[in-house]
Structure 1
Amino acid sequence: MELQGKRILLIISGGIAAYKSLDLIRRLRERGAAVRPVMTKAAQEFVTPLAVGALSASHVYVDLFSREDEQDVGHIRLARDTDLVVVAPASADLMAKMAHGLADDLASTVLLATDRPVLVAPAMNPKMWAAPATRRNVETLKADGIRFIGPMTGEMAESSEAGVGRMAEPLEIVAAVVELLDGGPKPLAGRTAIVTSGPTHEPIDPVRYIANRSSGRQGHAIAAALAKLGADVTLVSGPVTISDPAGVKTVHVERADEMLEAVVSRLPADIAVMVAAVADWRVATSAGQKIKKKSGEPPPPLVLAENPDILKTVGHHDKRPKLVVGFAAETQDVEKNGRDKLLRKGADLIVANDVSPETGIMGGTRNRVKIISAKGVEEWPDLGKDEVAARLANLIAGRLAGA
């Protein structure tokens, strides 16, 4: 069984989605895991410790000041005597406590005391999920290494409410648990992937350059997500200020021609994901010395030349990868321009997004994309860039599995 012998500490917080925790317990135990539950006071308003205990075949922990459970500092034992901590559902309140290091009940104390991996499955009203305070807390938790599954888009418990906030389904959470504990199959094992990321810098002189406003966060996240699914990934990165992702071979370049050379030299490959915001033009002849301003004289003209089209080169190459994915960063007519790019560049998928300044996507931590293929357009909700990367990696794995 996939989770045979694994110990899961399941923390159930308050919210109507707590009823799904009962099925989650059953699904985890079906796969051989031992589940030890912790319930907040609010969780007990939605499901009973009796039901949770019956399904888990375990004592249910509810009280930080229990004389029986705390006689050997039980909250520390709970925090350490496990392979993985799963919080499902994770309420906005509990995530806020986690982000700020609060420990005023058993669940928050265990989470502060644990040194084990933590997987969080948020569940709340869409307005709560979108609230600035929640967004800050989520980014803090991600920076602390907390892993997330969901939330998903759909109908809420409240009448006529829909949006991002539904807890991931139990089987989706189980899949994330299996992946975290390295107990499951890697759908991209044996596959090779090339990912480009970040901007390119095209020199005007030794000091100045032409570039795009790209942080590299999305490309780096995609490289990491593909590697997590088992792919052998080479990341070709332009100049960025973020760290190289773990488990990925990273090649650093500056200019578009260097990026093209690095990509083509690594063909053939199974997957190519061209995320980099490559500068469309370069200065035809860059100056060997810094160009000096001269009083009373106009600025020197810059004669531009077109840079190589890396996506089009890969899409039409005689060693073309089995699956070619391009990105279309647009400020208008996003879907139309994405469809045009799909045809012109020879791509299988285009990930199109609106990068107008007011969206904050360029350089930010979130993204809202449309997936364009010959079959049509699929619009994804506003997600963190790590979540977009995970979804795209799974989409790629599915496409290759069906090829």
Structure 2
Amino acid sequence: MSSLAGRNILFILGAGIAAYKVLDVMRRVRERGAHVRTILTSGAAEFVTPLSVGALSEAPVFTELFDLKNETEIGHIRLAREADLIVVAPATADLMARMAHGQADDLATTVLLAADKPVLCAPAMNVRMWHHTATQRNLAQLAEDGIHFVGPDEGAMACGEYGLGRMAPVEVIVEKIEAMLGPEARPLAGRHILVTAGPTHEPIDPVRFIANRSSGKQGYAIAEAAEALGACVTLVSGPTDLAAPPGVRRLNVETAEEMLAAVENALPADAAIFAAAVADWRVAENPSAKLKKSGGAPTLALTENPDILKTIAAREDRPALVVGFAAETGDAAAKGQEKRRSKGCDWIVANDVSPESGVFGSDENDVTLVTGESAEDWPRMRKAEVARRLMTRIAEALEGRPYLPTRAGHGA
């Protein structure tokens, strides 16, 4: 039996050319046994008709907030209450903006504001609109509110431009819906997972800094894998060129001290994975003016940075599972075991970063998972697969443990 059998899915269609693709999504989920209801925004009705939507859903199509018959029965509350999942597709820039600001000026946004069920957005818009600061700000707010995302993809658009902003393919949206409604596929639902990623930049002066070669790819992959398993994810990221995974709340930092503060402010968490490559040292005195050549190299007095992993592992309100990363060059298992003991964390993921490994900046990793007194050498694989395997193991380790009592600020 399909995971969608008997489930109630409410589709909210936004005003975009991709609205016609949503009809195929509706058809496919109904083939899998789901019951479908639809809200058509006024703009969406310019692209698809209530007649075509109603024919595919075999159910009335809702369009108006002030509908005499439906609202005498408090229709918007009923629609929100009876849905197991709300799918907003296409999620236009305007619809995302109104969601992010809690507006309720039509049936669609009123239902969304009244909903206490999972919401999945499939964004679709022009590439410039997607990259606009306002849209990215709204995306971050919605992710913090617990909204899930699928896409957008990169490709040619109806406007003739090319880039990020195409709605995710129909089959990908259907897979995401199945993942969200299948409890066996969402073992981290209701959990808060904290991830750090990327390097830190420690200023020498206003234009120079101490850093390392970390790309942040592994940490970002872990955050994405955790979100796919249903978790509410906070990603504390040092400077990278990577885009935040959809549905993930990202906090940007520069230095080790800033990263520690952001991590502490993000607690409590069910599990914390420290994949960031944090600089061990910083300049003791950071001058306010650029250092000039003056007959020789300057002498830099260094001081030790806070040990984020050790600090969090020692807290009374520490996450149930604290996982550190250890960048090693040779004998990763032994060095990872020693680091696990010295830091007081539960697990260590030791990865080989020797020059011949080619790990830094690449899409692959070579890791050893150190848990307790055992060590597992994983075969070299893509960082996305390392992330999926690690998060699956974490989900298994958290099974049966109490959930956090609150989810303030994390969409619960």
Pick the TM interval, shorter chain.
0.5 to 0.7
Kindly provide the CA deviation profile for residues 151-180 of structure 1, in whole angstroms up to 9, marking residues without a partner as x.
Answer: 111110122x10000001122112222222
Q: Structure 2 matches for 1:22-61, cutoff 5 A?
A: 22-61=23-62
Question: Relative to structure 1, is the Cα distance of residues 152 and 41 closer, same or farther in structure 2, using a 3 angstrom cutoff?
Answer: same
Contact 2:50 2:61 in 1 (8 A): yes
Shift of 1:128: 0.9
Distance (Å, rounded) in 2 between the aligned partners of 1:80 and 1:59:
17
Corresponding residue for residue 81 of structure 1: 82
Distance (Å, rounded) in 1 between the aligned partners of 2:217 and 2:270:
16
TM-score normalised by the chain length of structure 1: 0.59
Distance (Å, rounded) in 2 between the aligned partners of 1:44 and 1:201:
50
Q: Aligned Cα RMSD in Å?
A: 4.7
Q: Structure 2 matches for 1:3-402, cutoff 5 A?
A: 3-159=4-160, 161-183=161-183, 185=185, 197=197, 222-227=221-226, 239-242=260-263, 243-244=266-267, 246-248=269-271, 275-279=275-279, 302=301, 310-313=326-329, 317=333, 344=355, 346=357, 349-350=359-360, 352=361, 371-373=362-364, 393=384, 397=388
Distance (Å, rounded) in 1 between the aligned partners of 2:51 and 2:142:
31
Letter in 2 for 1:95: M
Kindly provide the CA deviation profile for residues 193-244 of structure 1, in whole angstroms up to 9, marking residues without a partner as x.
Answer: xx87577899xxxxxxx98699xx987765454445669xxx9x97342325
Letter in 2 for 1:181: L
Contact 1:229 1:393 in 2 (8 A): no
Distance (Å, rounded) in 2 between the aligned partners of 1:103 and 1:152:
29
Contact 1:312 1:346 in 2 (8 A): no
Shift of 1:346: 2.7
Distance (Å, rounded) in 1 between the aligned partners of 2:163 and 2:187:
30
Contact 1:187 1:229 in 2 (8 A): no
Kindly provide the CA deviation profile for residues 313-340 of structure 1, in whole angstroms up to 9, marking residues without a partner as x.
Answer: 47854799xxx897xxxxxxxxxxxxxx
Shift of 1:95: 1.0
Structure 2: gaps (5+ residues): 189-194, 203-208, 236-255, 285-297, 305-324, 337-348, 366-381, 392-412
Contact 2:218 2:383 in 1 (8 A): no
Distance (Å, rounded) in 2 between the aligned partners of 1:108 and 1:24:
21
Shift of 1:27: 1.7
Distance (Å, rounded) in 2 between the aligned partners of 1:108 and 1:125:
22
Distance (Å, rounded) in 2 between the aligned partners of 1:229 and 1:67:
40
Distance (Å, rounded) in 1 between the aligned partners of 2:44 and 2:120:
18
Contact 2:200 2:278 in 1 (8 A): yes
Contact 2:333 2:350 in 1 (8 A): no
Letter in 2 for 1:248: A
Structure 2 counterpart SS, 1:69: helix
Kindly provide the CA deviation profile for residues 246-278 of structure 1, in whole angstroms up to 9, marking residues without a partner as x.
Answer: 442568xxxxxxxxxxxxxxxxxxxxxxx3223
Contact 2:328 2:354 in 1 (8 A): no
Contact 1:92 1:128 in 2 (8 A): yes
Distance (Å, rounded) in 2 between the aligned partners of 1:317 and 1:88:
47
Contact 1:198 1:276 in 2 (8 A): yes
Distance (Å, rounded) in 2 between the aligned partners of 1:74 and 1:227:
35
Shift of 1:312: 3.0
Corresponding residue for residue 375 of structure 2: none
Contact 1:8 1:33 in 2 (8 A): yes
Structure 2 counterpart SS, 1:311: strand
Seq. identity, % = 47
Shift of 1:345: 5.8
Structure 1 counterpart SS, 2:12: strand
Contact 1:62 1:106 in 2 (8 A): yes
Distance (Å, rounded) in 2 between the aligned partners of 1:131 and 1:120:
18
Contact 2:10 2:86 in 1 (8 A): yes
Structure 2 counterpart SS, 1:164: strand
Distance (Å, rounded) in 1 between the aligned partners of 2:82 and 2:335:
51
Distance (Å, rounded) in 2 between the aligned partners of 1:41 and 1:196:
42
TM-score normalised by the chain length of structure 2: 0.58
Contact 1:120 1:149 in 2 (8 A): yes
Letter in 2 for 1:344: P
Contact 1:3 1:183 in 2 (8 A): no
Structure 1 counterpart SS, 2:163: strand
